[in-house]
Amino acid sequence: MEALKTSLFENPLGIYIALAIIGVLGLVSYQNWRTFKSAWPTAVALVGGAAVFTVSTLVVTDREQIGAACEKIADAISNRNTVVVEFLLDKDFTGLSETQTRKKAIRRLDSDLKTYGVTGVKLKILDMKVRDDLATMLVRSDITSETIPAMRLNWRAVWIKRPAGWLVHKVSGPVGPGNAGDQE
């Protein structure tokens, strides 16, 4: 079910390829027999492609919502706008330690942005699992700054779905390989 949901809503390329093959086979069939019945596969492929495009465009999955929130966080940090980041943190947020609350985390982020002169952040989602109203994620951050060399750090984040949307509930890290500046 999850694979169907992903291929239909988030990455329909495989479905488009299958429909294109059906459409081409229908055109070849029509070319050979020139009957209305032989054109059906092409018509079905066109209608199916339009339906898949409409559905994949209109439906925004939880994974896509979290991905968009990550982009907002990266843009906000790059622009030194901690207000946007704070808006995307859950009221019960805990950061790198159990005592790091939402307000403490924002104060620390604001201080680090000024101290290190962060000029850019790019986030890449390495792994994400969504289950009901919780999502766990491994994300890579590539950070550039005026005062230190480029850094690459991996973080674990737990997201929680609230009425306002998906919010970061907990962050831990840096974790695992890929930290401290190694590049691909």
Rounded Cα–Cα distance for residues 142 and 122 (Å): 5
CATH (domain of 88):
3.10.450.50
Residues with Cβ < 8 Å from 153, sequence gap 6 or more? 140, 141, 143, 173, 174, 178, 179, 180
What confidence score (pLDDT) does residue 181 get? Answer: 44
Q: Write out pLDDT tens, residues 102-133.
A: 999 999 999 999 999 999 999 999 999 999 99
For residue 149, what pLDDT is reported? 86
Q: What is the pTM of this model?
A: 0.80
How many of the other CB atoms lie within 10 Å of CB of 117? 13
pLDDT at 36 over 50: yes
Report the C-alpha gap between 100 and 74 in whole angstroms.
20
Residue 182 lies in a domain: no
Based on the fold, state whether residues 88 and 168 are members of the same structural domain: yes
- Residue 177's pLDDT band (boundaries 50, 70, 90)? low
134-144 pLDDT, tens digit per residue, is 999 999 999 99
* Confidence (pLDDT) at 99: 84
Q: How confident is the model at residue 184 (pLDDT cuts 50, 70, 90)?
A: very low
pLDDT at 6: 82
Q: What type of residue is 36?
A: F
Residue 183 lies in a domain: no
Residue 176, pLDDT score: 65
Mean pLDDT of 23-33: 92
* Cβ–Cβ < 8 Å for 27, 8: no
| 53 and 66 both lie in a single domain | no
Domain limits for position 97: 62-172
In a domain, residue 184? The reply is: no
Does 72 lie in the same domain as 10? no
How much of the chain is in helix, strand and coil states, percent to nearest 5? 50, 30, 25
Question: What are the residues whose beta carbons fall under 8 Å from the beta carbon of 19, sequence distance 6 or more?
Answer: 45, 48, 49, 52
pLDDT computed for residue 178 by the predictor = 56
Number of folded domains that form the chain: 2
